[in-house]
Structure 1
Amino acid sequence: MSEPFLEISGIGRRFSGFVALDGVSAVFQPNRVTAVIGPNGAGKSTLFNVLSGVLPPSSGSIRFKGRDLTGTKQHRFAHLGIARSYQITTIFQALSVHENVRVAAQALRTRYDIWRDRRRLRELDDRADAALAAVGLSARRHDPARSLGHGQQRALEIAIALVAEPELLLLDEPTAGMGPEETRDMVGLIERLAADRTILLVEHKMKMILGLSDRILVLHHGRLIADGTPAQVQADPEVRRVYLGQSHGYA
C-alpha cells in the first residue's frame, strides 16, 4: 500500500502549561481542498505553524509523501514541496510586484553571488512570471506592490509561495479583510490552484468554506472534534454546539 500524501499522528503542542494542540491525527489525500475551522483559540494557527515547520510539535509526528518531517528545519519545508501564506500580508511594499516574487525564487534557487551574470538568472524571471500569471497579476508586473489593492496583495503573497512549486499549499485566512467581490476572486483563484496541488486553509467565512472544501476539520480547545465532508460536518451536533450553531451560522 502506498504512503499517504500527508499524515499527522498525535500532534501535540504545548506552550509552558498551555496545551494548544492535543493529539491531533489526520490523513490527507492529494489534490483536495481541506479547511480547518474552529472558534478563536481552537489551535488552527498553531496547527498551520507545525505543518509549515514554524513550530516543532511537542509530541507526535508529521509524514509527507512517506518522509518523516518531525523536527525538520523550517527552511527545508519549501524545498520539500510545502509552502504557505500568512494571515498578515508579508510582502515588500517598495519593490515591484515582479521583484517580490523574483526575490523569493532567488532565495530558493541560488546563493548570493555578486559575480553572477544576471542573464544566467533568466530562469528565475521566468519562474516569477509563471507564478504571477497563475494568480492573475501579470498585467501589474512592473507596479510597486504598495499600489495593489488588498485582495491583489493577498494574491501576490500566494504567487510568492508558488515559486517553490509546492505540492502542498497552506493558506492562512486568505480572504481576511476582503469584501464580497475580492472574496469571490480569491475563491476562484483557490479553485484553479487546487486543480494540481493539495490545499489546506484556515478560514472563518463559513459559506465560502462549505462551497469550496472537499473536507473540513474542526478543532476545539486544541482537539479534533470532527472530520468529514461539508455536509457531514454541517450536520454534526457537537460542531453545531461549539461552533456552527453559535453566531457564525452558515451564511
Structure 2
Amino acid sequence: MPVNGTQNHANALDARGIGKRFGGFWAVQDINLTVRPGERRAILGPNGAGKTSLFNVLTGDLTASAGTVRLFGQDVTREPIHKRIRRGLRRSYQHAHLFEGLTVRETLFLAVAGVQGSWAQVWPLKGSDKRLAEADRLAEVAGLTSFSERAVSELSHGQRRQLEIGIALAENPRVLLLDEPAAGLSPAERPKLSALLMALPQEVTVVLIEHDMEIALQTSESVSVLYNGRMLAEGTPDAIMQNEDVHQVYLGGGYAQ
C-alpha cells in the first residue's frame, strides 16, 4: 500500500544530479541513479571513483552538495539518517564496530530494539519478547543460527560480515545498501556470502558497493560503474563485462571473455 502518499509504482531509489564537494574537490558530480523496487544493483569502480561518497549521500551520512535523493517517491535529500531509517532504508559499513562481548543473539536483539526505538527495558533478554524472536529470525537469515550464543569476538571475519548483514536487515528494510560486504573475505568464505546475498528477500531492494567483480556480477541484475566521481557506464552484468571503457579504466583490459 502507499506510504506517506507515495505511489506503489515509485522507484525505490531515485538520485538526480547528485554531487558531493569537499572544499574545491568534487568527490562525485552529476550522478543519476534509478533503482526499481526489488532490484539488485551493484556499484563498481576503482579506488577513488566516488562510490562511498555516493553511498553516504544516499544514506544521509553526508549531505548532498547538489542534486536530490528520493526514496519511494519521497524527497529525503535533507533528511537525517534516522528519518531515512524510518522510511525503510538500512545500510552496512565497510568497517563496522561490533560489541565484542555480546553474543550474536544479543547483538541482533539490540539492532531490532534500536530500529524500533525501544531501548528502554531491553535487558535482560526474555524468551517471550517479540524482539528476541525477530533476532532469532535474523540469525537464521544471516546463516548464523548455530552461532547465536557465540560471542562476537569468537566469530570469523566472514561470520562478522554475515552478522552485519543481519543487523542491517532488522525490522524488514525496504532498501538495503551494503558497503563492500566481501571486503577481507577469504576465497573459501566468498561463496557463502554470495549465497546469502542471493537468498535475501526479493521484496528488499539491494544496492551494494563491491570490489569483488565476481560477487558483484553474480549477485546483481544491473551494474553502475563510477570513474573519477562520474557515472561511466550502466547495464546488465553481461553488458558491463563487454564494455570497453570499463575494461580500460576499471579492469585494465584484463577481464575480457
Change (3 A) 1:87 1:118: closer
**Does the Cα contact within 8 Å between 2:20 and 2:28 map onto a contact in 1?**
yes
Number of the residue aligned with 2:49: 42
Distance in structure 2 (CA, Å) of the matches to 1:9 and 1:35: 18
- Partner residue, 1:166: 173
Letter in 2 for 1:63: R
Q: Greater shift after overlay, 184-193 or 163-172?
A: 163-172
Matching of residue 28 in structure 1 with residue 35 in structure 2 = yes
1:59-70 mapped onto 2 (5 Å cutoff): 59-70=66-77
Task: Note the alpha carbon deviations across 1:109-137, whole angstroms, 9 max, x for none.
Answer: 23443599975970111111111111111
CA contact (8 A) 1:234 1:244 kept: no
1:219 CA displacement: 0.4
Please report the RMSD computed on the Cα atoms of aligned residues, expressed in angstroms: 2.1
Q: Distance in 2 between matches of 1:179 and 1:115?
A: 36
What CA distance in whole angstroms lies between the structure 2 residues aligned with 1:185 and 1:115? 32
Identity %: 36
| Residue-by-residue CA offset, 1:74-94 (whole Å, 9 max, x unaligned) | 112222111111111321111
For the 8 Å contact 1:31–1:196, the answer to whether it is kept is: yes
Q: Given the alignment of the two structures, is residue 12 of structure 1 paired with residue 19 of structure 2, yes or no?
A: yes
- In 2, are the aligned partners of 1:13 and 1:20 still within 8 Å (CA)? yes
Match of 1:131 in 2: 138
Per the normalisation by structure 1, the TM-score is 0.93
Q: Does 1:93 align with 2:100?
A: yes
Kindly tell me: are residues 121 and 220 of structure 1, through their superposed partners in 2, closer, same or farther at Cα, counting changes over 3 Å?
Answer: farther
- Normalising by the residue count of structure 2, what TM-score does the alignment of the two structures yield? 0.91
Q: Which residue of 2 is the match for residue 198 of structure 1?
A: 205
- In the alignment, which residue of structure 2 is the partner of 1:150? 157
Counterpart contact for 2:40–2:222, Cα < 8 Å: yes
Aligned to 2:185: 178
Given the superposition, is the C-alpha separation of residues 210 and 110 from structure 1 closer, same or farther in structure 2, using an over 3 Å criterion?
closer
Matched with 2:217 is 210
1:218, 1:225 within 8 Å by CA — same for their partners in 2? yes
For residue 36 of structure 1, what is the amino acid of its counterpart?
A: I
Q: Which moved more, 1:199-208 or 1:179-188?
A: 199-208
- The whole-number CA distance in structure 2 between the counterparts of 1:29 and 1:115 is 36
Cα distance in 2 for partners of 1:219, 1:167 equals 24
User: Which amino acid is 1:144 matched to?
Assistant: A
* Cα deviation code 1:25-84 (max 9, x no counterpart): 021112221110111100000111111110111110011111111111111222211111
Q: What's the secondary structure of 2:252's corresponding residue?
A: helix
Tell me the secondary structure at the aligned position of residue 129 of structure 2.
helix
1:95 and 1:230, CA in 2 relative to 1: closer, same or farther beyond 3 A? Answer: same
Q: Do the aligned residues in 2 keep the contact of 1:84 with 1:161 (CA within 8 Å)?
A: yes
Residue 151 to residue 116, structure 1, CA distance change in 2 (3 Å)? closer
Structure 2 unaligned spans of 5+: 1-6
Q: Secondary structure at the match of 1:51?
A: helix
How many equivalent residue pairs?
Answer: 250
